[in-house]
Chain A
Amino acid sequence: MGLLLLLPPVAALLAGLAAAAPRPAVPSPSGPRPGARPLAALSAATTRLSGVLVSAILLGTGVALLVHRGAVPTLGGDLLRADALSALMLTVVGAVGLTATWAGLEPRTSPAASAHGPGATRSERRYAALVCVFLGAMAIAVTTDNLGVLWVAVEATTIATAFLVGHRGGARSLEAAWKYVVLGSVGIAIALLGTVLLYAASRSAGEPTLSWTRLVSGELPLDPALVKVAAGLAVLGFATKAGLAPMHSWLPDAHSQAPAPVSGLMSGVLLAVAFYAILRVRAIAAVVIGPGLVRGLLLTAGLGSLAVAGALILRQRDHKRMLAYSSIEHMGVLAVGAAVGGPVALAAVLLHLIGHGLAKASLFVVAGRMLASEGTTTIAEVRGLLSRRADLAVPLVVGMAALLGFPPFALFFSEVAIVLAGWRAGLGWAMALVVVLLLVVVAGLVRATAAMTLGPADQAHAVHDERTTTTITSAPDGSASVAVATLAPPPAPPQAHGADRGPMLPLVLALGTTAVIGFFAMPVGDVLARAAAVLGLS
């Protein structure tokens, strides 16, 4: 069983290498070699499907580990270890990764692709390889028992995603990538300081170790003052990576500039794994110094994130940035849930991670297709999507309903459970605030979604025309220009060569899963309870 833990990172590494492998040589001018074309096509298919394959392997391994009962599988001392929580997280990484990468496959009909021949271009290969490395690092992060290795893996994801964020090129992408790498690395450096101090505490207690199971066992006489500083710094550092306010400023930029599947991966997986690290540190702190310090930190960060997200979603004009702020909102809910603590709230937090990851990955993919079809991410310029492009509008509306926590979606159950558990834990005022802020977010998202989907089909063109007309009538020779403007066809959406369509099945599966997962008490509830029990009862 232990060897199974090696499968995800090794598979990710191999798939990454295969995806990055240069395509077979272009047929020489002396005459096309027979067999070169199918080879090139095969290499292109490997590159294209590598991310999907790795995600599927992660998901399969995660499910196998979830089903496995008995001794916790370990490998190489404290290097790899998969308790119930790790198995659940690996499943989440796999499922969200599968949604984002599978739905992110664009039909290969674009003129650029045919011009380059059947082989993958250099930028496509780099993209595929980096996605594989990203998924592999995530798999290591959730299945390691060593806090140092956890840190290295989380930082490795920053490295893998840096070029993915800047993949499109251009000043805006570069700005987003720079901010992301600098802020992400600095934040995570703070977490390293915390990890180092935890190591120092264990060394002073007579057993130098970074093993989470040893640190959380309560057998080591760790110095409380030192652990207090260490846990505070580690939570602060990982909270930066998780996008919690007030360290969230990199998130909207990175999420809005990255290609859509990468935004989905970052929002659904990267934030979740950073949050998982917070949960692990929180458990150590709870054993040594009690839950007070981390509870305060998380409650402040959670309410702050909800407030920031609420304020900015209400006046957001960009669709992808709006989704990014919604991620901040959900990380806020998670932080509040973790602050409440206890088996019910922690199980709800884990359910929330699953539901948010799947819904958000689907929505980002839809946002990518909308960008390709409409040529804009500005909310005001998209109208009447339901009557024109039902294949985009229906997943958008269903995904939004899931994200907002309407029943029967999983987020409904998790949000209700977190608020109720908080109420019982004596945090009534905070829960009231959470409910109010959630309502604000609902108002903002519903308004934007309704504006984009409802309305007659031709209204989009009317908006365009109206604008051109008004700008041109202000010119001195008004009359002639107006005539030209009204006759001119609406600007054609750029680069709409197939990227606005894609597989629907992954979206159906992901949103369907979030819709039904809350009802299965037997396998799902049991799994969540076991994973929450790993974190202790506080």
Chain B
Amino acid sequence: MSPSGSVATQLVALTAGALLVTSVLLVWRRDLSAQVRLLMLQGVALAALATTIGLSGGPGTSRAELLLVAVLVLALRGWLLPWVLGRRLRAGIEAGDAAREDGPRLNPTAGLVLVALLTTVAYLVSRPISEGVAEHAGAPTPAGTAGPAAFAVPVGIAMVLIGFLLLVGRRRAMSQLVGFLVLDNGIATVAFLTAAGVPFAVELGISSDVLLVVLILAVLSRRIHAQIGSTTLDSMTELRD
């Protein structure tokens, strides 16, 4: 049943590529509903990655547990979180908010250049991680261990960095939320690639925390909108020394 080593490697490469491409597109697109759709796509890709790693097995992986995690990821990151964001977005537009991120601090071209830079940085800084994981795995069976997955670790790190970029480069509350989720997806990617995911109980805790944070931020952004009439965070500068 389990895909052979080379197929697993190719599938990991494919899903990792999809994750990176969606992150890059998120920097490029300014239309908020397009961003939510991209986020949904990214969640599905992440679930596919978890499934691939679960099916390819390897020492120390519990296949059933990983498949369960994959279902959880699909439900949360592929459906529920984008749905919450989309709902909040539509409610905001009905209340007179703009549907686009207008006048971001970073124009798309500069953003894409920065993404290229960040990806390069990610490849440089994740060398100790990939090597540490691959080398100590001892590679008793060259295919199917954490080894073939470890090569894609830079993708996860790049997603974390791109998440940061979105957080500091965007001004709308909604876009910041998207940035936070990309950051979080990046961490989940690193977890799957280096350690075949964290234990299920911890994964459950992390997922519920992320869900609650997103719900709280959605409520806060609604209240901010009701209070100051827009969700551009530049107008929030009352608190300073």
Residues of A with Cβ closer than 8 Å to B?
A: 146, 148-149, 151-152, 155-156, 158-159, 162-163, 166, 169-172, 174-179, 181-182, 185-186, 189, 192-193, 195-197, 199-201, 203-206, 208, 210, 221, 223, 225-226, 228-229, 252-253, 256-257, 312, 315-316, 321
* B31 part of interface (Cβ distance < 8 Å): no
B contact residues around A206 at 8 Å (CB)? 60
**By the criterion CB–CB under 8 Å, are A159 and B241 in contact?**
no
Residue of A nearest to B160 (CB): A193
Q: Quick check: B228 and A152 within 8 Å, CB to CB?
A: no
Q: How far is the CA of A185 from the CA of B164 in the complex (A)?
A: 12
Does residue B233 face the partner (Cβ distance < 8 Å to A)? Answer: yes
**Complex Cα–Cα for A208 and B146 (A):** 13
**Bound Cα distance A189, B186 (Å):** 10
Residue numbers in B under 8 Å from A256 (CB-CB): 239
The CA-CA distance from A505 to B104 in the complex, in Å, is 53
In the complex, which residues of chain B have a beta carbon less than 8 angstroms from the beta carbon of A149? 201-202, 205
Q: Are A148 and B198 in contact (CB under 8 A)?
A: yes
Are the CB atoms of B129 and A316 closer together than 8 Å?
no
Instruction: A171 to B239: give the CA distance in the assembly, Å.
Output: 10
In the complex, chain B residues whose CB is within 8 Å of the CB of A252: 239, 241
Give me the interface of B with A, judged by CB distance under 8 Å.
60, 128-129, 131-133, 135-137, 146, 160, 164, 167, 173, 176, 180, 183-184, 187, 190-191, 194-196, 198-199, 201-202, 205-206, 209, 212-213, 216-217, 220-221, 223-224, 227-228, 233, 236, 238-239, 241
Interface contact tally, CB-CB below 8 A? 149
**What are 6 pairs between A and B in contact, CB < 8 Å?**
A178-B236, A182-B176, A186-B167, A196-B195, A200-B129, A223-B135
With A and B bound together, what is the CA distance between A316 and B133 in angstroms?
A: 49
Known contacts A159-B216, A170-B227, A204-B132; A210 and B236 CB within 8 A of each other: no
Contacts of A208 in B (CB 8 A): 60, 195, 199
Set of chain A residues within 8 Å of B195, measured between Cβ atoms: 196, 199-200, 203, 208
Chain B residues contacting A312 (CB-CB under 8 Å) are 241
Partner of A146, one of B129, B180, B202: B202
Q: Is the CB of A175 within 8 A of B239?
A: yes
Question: Is B199 within 8 A of A196, CB to CB?
Answer: no
The residues of B that contact A186 with a CB separation of less than 8 Å are 164, 167, 180, 183
Contact of B199 (CB < 8 Å), options: A148, A170, A175, A316: A148
Q: Given the complex of chains A and B, what is the CA–CA distance between A186 and B133 in angstroms?
A: 25
> Which residue of A148, A155, A195, A204 is within 8 Å of B136 (Cβ)?
A204
In the complex formed, the residue of A with least CB distance to B127 is: A225
Q: Is the CB of B136 within 8 A of A221?
A: yes
Q: A163 contacts B216, CB within 8 Å? A: yes
Q: Report B-chain residues with C-beta under 8 Å of the C-beta of A205.
A: 136
Is the CB–CB distance between B202 and A178 below 8 Å?
no
Which of A152, A176, A178, A321 meets B206, CB within 8 Å? A152
CB nearest neighbor in A for B188: A196
Are A159's CB and B212's CB within 8 A?
Answer: yes
20 additional contacts, CB 8 Å, given A200-B195, A226-B133? A152-B206, A152-B209, A158-B213, A162-B216, A163-B216, A166-B223, A172-B239, A174-B227, A179-B236, A179-B239, A186-B183, A193-B187, A193-B190, A200-B129, A201-B132, A204-B137, A223-B133, A229-B132, A312-B241, A315-B241
A162 to B220, Cβ gap below 8 A? yes
User: What's the nearest-Cβ distance from chain B to residue A468, in Å?
Assistant: 25
A168 → chain B, closest Cβ, in Å?
12
- Using Cβ atoms and an 8 Å threshold, which residues of chain B touch A200? 129, 132-133, 146, 191, 194-195
B236 with A223: CB separation less than 8 A = no
Q: Which of B202, B224, B241 contacts A148 (CB 8 A)?
A: B202
Task: Tell me which of B128, B135, B176, B196 has the highest count of chain A C-beta atoms within 10 A of its own C-beta.
Answer: B128
Q: How far is the CB of A101 from chain B (nearest CB, A)?
A: 23
Cβ contact within 8 Å between A185 and B180: yes
* Nearest-neighbor residue (CB-CB) of B153 within chain A: A200
A206-B59 Cα distance, complex, nearest whole Å: 9
**CB of A132 to closest CB in B, whole Å:** 16
Query: Which A residues touch B132, using CB under 8 A?
Result: 200-201, 204, 223, 225-226, 229
**In the bound complex, do residue B136 and residue A196 qualify as a contact, i.e. CB atoms below 8 Å apart?**
no
Q: Are A192 and B194 in contact (CB under 8 A)?
A: no
Also in contact, A181 and B227, with CB within 8 A (given A166-B220, A175-B238, A210-B202): no
Report Cα–Cα, A186/B180, bound state, in Å: 7
User: Which residues of chain B come closer than 8 Å to A177, judged between CB atoms?
Assistant: 220
Q: Whole-angstrom distance from the CB of B110 to the nearest CB of chain A?
A: 22
6 nearest A-B residue pairs (beta carbon): A226-B132, A148-B202, A152-B205, A204-B136, A200-B194, A223-B132
**Which residues of A lie under 8 Å from residue B183 when comparing CB positions?**
186, 189
Evaluate contact between A148 and B227: CB separation under 8 angstroms: no
Q: How far is the CB of A301 from chain B (nearest CB, A)?
A: 19
Closest-CB distance, B78 to chain A (whole angstroms): 19
Q: How far is the CB of A397 from chain B (nearest CB, A)?
A: 25
A274 to chain B, nearest CB (A): 15
Select one of B136, B216, B233 contacting A181, CB under 8 A: B216
Q: Please tell me if the beta carbons of A199 and B198 are within 8 angstroms of each other in the complex.
A: yes
Q: Which B residues lie within 8 Å of A229 (CB)?
A: 128-129, 132
User: Once the chains are docked, how many angstroms separate the CA of A155 from the CA of B160?
Assistant: 18
Q: What is the CB-to-nearest-CB distance from A212 to chain B, in angstroms, rounded to a whole number?
A: 13
Closest chain B CB from A94 CB (angstroms)? 23
Residues in B with CB closer than 8 Å to A316 are 241
Contacts of B60 in A (CB 8 A): 203, 206, 208
**B209 lies within 8 A of A155 (CB):** yes
Distance to closest chain A CB from B142 (angstroms)? 15
* Closest chain A CB from B183 CB (angstroms): 6
Cβ–Cβ contact B217 & A181, under 8 A: yes
Residues of chain B with a CB closer than 8 A to A221's CB: 136
Residues of B contacting A199 in the complex (Cβ-Cβ under 8 angstroms): 191, 195, 198
CA distance A180 to B113 in the complex (A): 30
Check if B128 sits within 8 Å of A228, measured CB to CB: yes
Closest CB-CB distance, A208 to chain B, in whole Å? 5
Closest A residue to B227 by CB, please name it: A171
Q: Which residues of A contact B133 (CB under 8 A)?
A: 200, 204, 223, 226
- CB–CB A178/B173 < 8 A: yes
Tell me the complex Cα distance, A283–B173, Å.
38
Q: Of A158, A185, A257, which is within 8 A of B239 by CB? A: A257
The answer to whether A203 and B146 have CB atoms under 8 Å apart is yes
Residue of A nearest to B237 (CB): A175
CB-nearest residue of chain B to A163: B216
